[in-house]
Structure 1
Amino acid sequence: MFLSIVLFVLGLLILYYGAEYLVDGSSRLAMSFGVRPLVTGMTVVAFATSMPEMMVSLLAALKGSSDIAAGNIVGSNIANIGLILGCASLIMPMAVAKTTLRREIPFMIGASVLFFLFSLDGRLGFFNGAVLFFFLLVFLFYCLRTARGAVNESVSSLIDEFSATRARDSFKSVVGMVGLGTGAELMVRSAVDIATTLGVSEVIIGLTVVALGTSLPELAASVVSALKGQMDISVGNVIGSNIFNLLFVLGICPMIRPIAVDPSLLRLELPVMILFSVALIPLLVPGYRLNRPRGALLLTGYLAFIGVLFL
């Protein structure tokens, strides 16, 4: 038991620093090619911060721990909105583009509903994964069409600055990927051992401990972006990460090996995930801002959800 806890913490640290390297390297690479901050957040940074979920869910599915695989994604998506957007907006109230409310958030809600419908029979198979992955390609095509915006003087100087370090940023991205794989392996192995020892279901472990662990990169990226005033990256990272979790992770994993979905997820956690996604619209429409009171409401809702899980 003690060894499992040590390995879990070690895996979490490796996962965190691997994600930090990958986020930093990949986002700087994207900026060096003049990609707009919002699109960078929704694609490059979101992909990078979704890699922990991908690695953990894939390894869990391959090891026969499907409950951790599915629970991890649902728990991460809830944490991304409730915990991460809540914390980031408490640090720095964030403005949200009208196009985000009209396009990206509805797309995230649609992906969440589609995942719920596919889960009604208790499993995600190859066909389900292929359909989810197809919609990921649709999302990426949309992002590519809006990738490059008007380049002003400040953005142009950033492009020049980042272009000089492309080789180093590429190396950091590769090191980050290796760290993610190693950390995910340690986390999954130790999480299963801890759940077995304590008699806690793998679903709860996936929804809480593992989900929080794999959401740390998103938390770090969003909080750092908020502190730097780069709110486009902060908001785009969360929305894009949720879309990638649903369409990329749950698209690839079932095509490699079917994932079982615990019936309890359909009763509570999946509806809560959809509720958090839908709640963003009324919270953001007034003034197109997520201010501190609204952020506090999201954070309170997340803490209440965690409390209900353990009660």
Structure 2
Amino acid sequence: MAYILLIIGFGLLIKGADLFVDGSSNIAKLLRVPTMLIGLTIVALGTSSPEATVSIIAALEGSADVSLGNVVGSNIFNITLVVGLAAFIYPLKVENETIRKEIPFTLLASVALLILMSDMALQGANMNLLTRSDGLIFLLFLSIFMYYVIEIGLKNRKDTAGDPIPEDLKWGKNILITILGLAAIIFGGDLVVDNGTEIAYSLGMSETLVGLTIIAIGTSLPELVTSVTAALKQESEIALGNIVGSNIFNILFVLGASATISPLQANDKIFIDVILMIVLTVILLAFSRTSFRVGKREGLVLVGAYLIYLVYIIIRN
């Protein structure tokens, strides 16, 4: 029964995120917000909402390994498999701002996570803990990022000021779709955490492994669907903007909110995964600087990197 409920939970997460992204993207169009801003904020926040729901619920239930593993696993999945598949389908054009500011900001957030969770090494503490203070620091970082994004939106808004709004876009309908999507995400996230943890214990898996694999992949499916769809439509700004934005939201908002609600203890294994996440972000930045795009060859390298990582963490457990 737990497997069936887990699948139902994932289904609700995916459909809920789909409705949330559609509704909120249409609201952004009604507000005349540029495409780049939609990818970095509305779509990124929408596709990160499953991670947020799962991690916050896990934090409330005292499953810190699931909460941390979900975020780190999702970010690694996004950088490697999602970007890799999207780039293989259609080479991703990388905006200059993405290389100069957004990917480095993702790297900064990842390094900040490593520093804040290294209490034993840096402070001689008895355990590694993301405290409420650390959570609030992440949320402050998020406010800086949001200020930057809003500033870009205001500068670019004049470019779309003359664009006509499609007649079929209605405020009421899209607000309803957004609320229904959010409700499905919350209920689905609850099912995923409860049944994913139950399955983990029955199979003798650690909570960290479940968070890094089953739950991380499940909650990252909206990013995968969104970015692959955007690549098929040759809208590379949304495809890459979604991933970069999602990874920033995952660390700063998801872990920030989770740690603020309930301090998260970090086990020794997760440090290797966080370091790997940082290395992969540097690789993505390096790939992005080659002709300002991520091509098919780089995409295959990223997909291969995820498959190697998956085998490693399964053997490690």
With structure 1 as the length reference, what TM-score do the two structures score? 0.95
User: How do 1:47-196 and structure 2 match up within 5 A?
Assistant: 47-121=45-119, 122-148=128-154, 149=156, 156-157=163-164, 160-161=165-166, 164-196=169-201
Q: Following TM superposition, by how much is the alpha carbon of 1:152 offset from its aligned partner in structure 2, in angstroms?
A: 5.6
Look up the equivalent residue of 2:304 and give its one-letter code.
T
Deviation track 1:251-271 (CA, whole Å, cap 9, x = no partner) reads: 1111111111111111x2111
1:153–1:66 CA distance, 2 compared to 1 (3 A): closer
1:293–1:186 CA distance, 2 compared to 1 (3 A): same
Q: Following TM superposition, by how much is the alpha carbon of 1:166 offset from its aligned partner in structure 2, in angstroms?
A: 2.2
Contact 2:139 2:256 in 1 (8 A): yes
Look up the equivalent residue of 2:248 and give its one-letter code.
I
- Secondary structure in structure 2 of the residue aligned to 1:146: helix
1:255–1:286 CA distance, 2 compared to 1 (3 A): same
What does residue 237 of structure 2 align with?
232
Contact 1:37 1:233 in 2 (8 A): yes
CA distance in 2, matches of 1:20, 1:213: 14
CA distance in 2, matches of 1:155, 1:7: 48
Look up the equivalent residue of 2:129 and give its one-letter code.
R
Look up the equivalent residue of 2:43 and give its one-letter code.
V
Q: Following TM superposition, by how much is the alpha carbon of 1:8 offset from its aligned partner in structure 2, in angstroms?
A: 0.5
- Secondary structure in structure 2 of the residue aligned to 1:26: helix
CA distance in 1, matches of 2:35, 2:237: 6
- Decide which of 20, 40, 44 is 2:38's aligned counterpart: 40
Aligned residues: 306
Look up the equivalent residue of 1:307 and give its one-letter code.
V
What does residue 286 of structure 1 align with?
290
CA distance in 1, matches of 2:202, 2:32: 50
Q: Which runs of 5+ in 1 are unaligned?
A: none
Deviation track 1:193-214 (CA, whole Å, cap 9, x = no partner) reads: 1111111000000000000000
CA distance in 1, matches of 2:72, 2:183: 25
Q: Following TM superposition, by how much is the alpha carbon of 1:163 offset from its aligned partner in structure 2, in angstroms?
A: 7.7
Contact 1:32 1:162 in 2 (8 A): no
1:162–1:9 CA distance, 2 compared to 1 (3 A): farther
- Secondary structure in structure 2 of the residue aligned to 1:286: coil
Q: CA RMSD in A?
A: 1.4
CA distance in 2, matches of 1:202, 1:282: 33
Q: Following TM superposition, by how much is the alpha carbon of 1:164 offset from its aligned partner in structure 2, in angstroms?
A: 3.3
Is it true that 1:273 corresponds to 2:277 in the alignment? yes
- Secondary structure in structure 1 of the residue aligned to 2:32: coil
Contact 1:79 1:302 in 2 (8 A): yes
Deviation track 1:276-301 (CA, whole Å, cap 9, x = no partner) reads: 11111211111101110011111111
1:162–1:59 CA distance, 2 compared to 1 (3 A): farther
Look up the equivalent residue of 1:228 and give its one-letter code.
K
- Secondary structure in structure 2 of the residue aligned to 1:200: coil
Q: Which runs of 5+ in 2 are unaligned?
A: 120-127
1:6–1:146 CA distance, 2 compared to 1 (3 A): same
Contact 1:34 1:155 in 2 (8 A): no
Contact 2:32 2:161 in 1 (8 A): no
CA distance in 2, matches of 1:236, 1:163: 26
Contact 1:88 1:226 in 2 (8 A): yes
What does residue 302 of structure 1 align with?
306
Look up the equivalent residue of 2:101 and give its one-letter code.
R
Identity of aligned residues (%): 36
Deviation track 1:173-216 (CA, whole Å, cap 9, x = no partner) reads: 10000000110010001011111111100000000000000001
What does residue 14 of structure 2 align with?
16
Q: Following TM superposition, by how much is the alpha carbon of 1:220 offset from its aligned partner in structure 2, in angstroms?
A: 1.0
What does residue 244 of structure 1 align with?
249
What does residue 264 of structure 2 align with?
259
